[in-house]
Amino acid sequence: MKPLVRWLSLLAAASMSLPPATPSPAGSFDPQYENRREAKNIIFMVPDGMGLADVTAARIHKNGIDGPPLHFETLEHIGYQRTYSENSTITDSASAASAWACGEKFNNGEICFHGDGRPNPASILELAKGMGMTAGLVATSTITHATPAAFGAHVANRHCETEIARQYLQATKPDVLLGGGLSKFQPAIADPCGSSGDLIPRAMKAGYTIVRTKAELDAAVSDGACKLLGLFAMEGMTPDHLRTPGTAEPRLPEMAAAALILLEKNKNGFFLMIEGSQVDWANHANNPQYQVGETLAFDDAVKTVLDWINANPGRKEHTLLIVSPDHETGGFAVNGPTDRLLRSGEYVTAGWTTGGHTGSDVPVWGQGPGSSEVGRALDNTDLYRIMKNLLKEND
Ligand SMILES: [Zn+2]
C-alpha cells in the first residue's frame, strides 16, 4: 500500500466526516477515489512486425530527419528483446504473442497451446479477468488473428479463427473486442479445428452489443454499453494510407479510445491489448507507403492512450503501458539518400532482405508501474512476467 493510500485509509477510518469513496462515472475524475484505489491497469500495444528502421522511416516522413520523436519514442524506459520461438529461429506472430500472453515458448502457429500435451498456462488476460478486472482486444486485422488470439484463446493452429472467436465469447470473455473479421464469426465453412456456425446470436446472448461502423461504435459508447463486439470488416480493416474521408470504419486510435472508456468503468482495473496489425503486412509486401501509414496510425493510437493516461494523476500512477513489436518483418533497412537530409513528407531510400519475418531482436518501450523492468536486454517471455508481477500487486 502506498503511503498516501495508507494515510487516506487511516483518515477515513478515524473520521466519519469523510464521504465514502464511490466510483466516478466513466470519463470523469474523482481525485479522492482515484488516490484510494490500488487497481493497476495494463495497456499492451503491439505494432506487429515493426523493426527499429521502420521507426526511423516513419519519424522522418512525419517530422523530418531532425524533427521530434514519435509518441511511443517518448516512453520512459527502452529495451530490446529476443523473439525466437520454441521450434524456430524466426518466430511467427502466434508463438511470439503466446510468449507474451502465457510466458512460455511455443512452436510457430500455436496459440498458447502446447501440441505435445503439456498443460497450457492461463494468459495474462485470463488472469486479469479472474481477478475481477475487465479486458479488451483491439486490432486492425481480424480480431481472431494470431496476436489478439494468444491473449484470449488456446488453440493448436492459428488458422482456427472461428474456434478462437467461440472461445472469446464462451470461455475467456473479453469485455471489448474491436477489429475486422466478421467472416470468422459467420464462416461459410468450418475452420481447421472444425468450428463453424453463426456466432453473432451467441455474442448477443452473451451480452455483447454488436457494432459494424464507427457511428455505431460511438453510439454504443455513449449509450453506456458494457460489453462490445465491433466487427468493422469481413477480413482485415482498410489500410490507413488507402482510406478516404467519410469511411465507415473507425481508425485504430478511435477504437482504442472507445475501449478505454468501456474498460475503465470497472474500478478493479483492466487489461487492454491494442495491435497495429498491418505494419507486418506492409513489410511482407515491401511497401513503403503502407509501412509508414500503418506505423504512424499505430503511433496516433499511442498518442490517444498517452493523452488518456496523462489526463489525471490516478491513471498515470496506476497504468503500465508497454509498446512492443513481436518480431521484425522484411529485413527493412534505411539505405539513403546519402547526399542530402530528408524533410518531412519524404520517404527514405530503403531495401528489404525478405518478404518474410526476420530473427532480429526488436525494441520495447514502457512507462508506469513496473516499466523500469523493460529497460534492458530481455526475452519476449520476460514481458509476461513483468505484467504478471503487476497483477500480483492487484491481488
Ligand atoms: Zn507478427
Q: Are 27 and 382 within 8 A, CB to CB?
A: no
Q: φ and ψ at 320, to 5 degrees? A: -90, 125
What is the reported pLDDT for 301? 98
Confidence of residue 393 (pLDDT cuts 50, 70, 90): confident
How far, in Å, from the CA of 361 to the mean position of ligand 1?
Answer: 13
Helix (H/G/I), strand (E/B), else coil: 339: coil
Please state, as a whole number, how many other Cβ atoms lie within 10 Å of the Cβ of residue 70: 20
Residue 141 among the catalytic residues: no
Average pLDDT over residues 99-104: 98
Instruction: Using DSSP bridges, classify how beta strands 349-351 and 333-336 pair: parallel, antiparallel or unpaired.
Output: antiparallel
Which residue in the list 17, 24, 28, 93 is annotated as catalytic? Answer: 93
Q: Are 47 and 298 within 8 A, CB to CB?
A: yes
Strand stretches in 76-129, DSSP E: 77-82
Helix (H/G/I), strand (E/B), else coil: 351: strand
Average pLDDT over residues 240-269: 96
* C-alpha to C-alpha distance for 321 and 45, rounded to whole angstroms: 8
Using the predicted structure, report yes or no on whether residue 115 has a pLDDT greater than 60: yes
What is the reported pLDDT for 38? 59
Average pLDDT over residues 211-225: 97
How far, in Å, from the CA of 193 to the mean position of ligand 1?
Answer: 22
* C-alpha to C-alpha distance for 161 and 149, rounded to whole angstroms: 8
Q: What is the pTM of this model?
A: 0.90
Model pLDDT for residues 329-387, shown as the tens digit of each residue: 999 999 999 999 999 999 999 999 999 999 999 999 999 999 999 999 999 999 999 99
What is the reported pLDDT for 298? 98
Model pLDDT for residues 38-52, shown as the tens digit of each residue: 569 999 999 999 999
CB neighbour list of residue 369: distance below 8 Å, 6 or more residues apart? 40, 317, 318, 319, 320, 390, 393
**Rg of the chain taking only CA atoms, in angstroms:** 21
Instruction: Using DSSP bridges, classify how beta strands 41-47 and 209-211 pair: parallel, antiparallel or unpaired.
Output: unpaired
What is the reported pLDDT for 246? 86
Please state, as a whole number, how many other Cβ atoms lie within 10 Å of the Cβ of residue 353: 11
Confidence of residue 7 (pLDDT cuts 50, 70, 90): very low
Using the predicted structure, report yes or no on whether residue 165 has a pLDDT greater than 70: yes
What is the reported pLDDT for 123? 98
Helix (H/G/I), strand (E/B), else coil: 244: coil
How far, in Å, from the CA of 48 to the mean position of ligand 1?
Answer: 5
Using the predicted structure, report yes or no on whether residue 99 has a pLDDT greater than 80: yes
| Arithmetic mean of pLDDT over the chain | 92
Using the predicted structure, report yes or no on whether residue 1 has a pLDDT greater than 70: no
Q: What DSSP character marks residue 319?
A: E
How far, in Å, from the CA of 275 to the mean position of ligand 1?
Answer: 10
What is the reported pLDDT for 394? 78
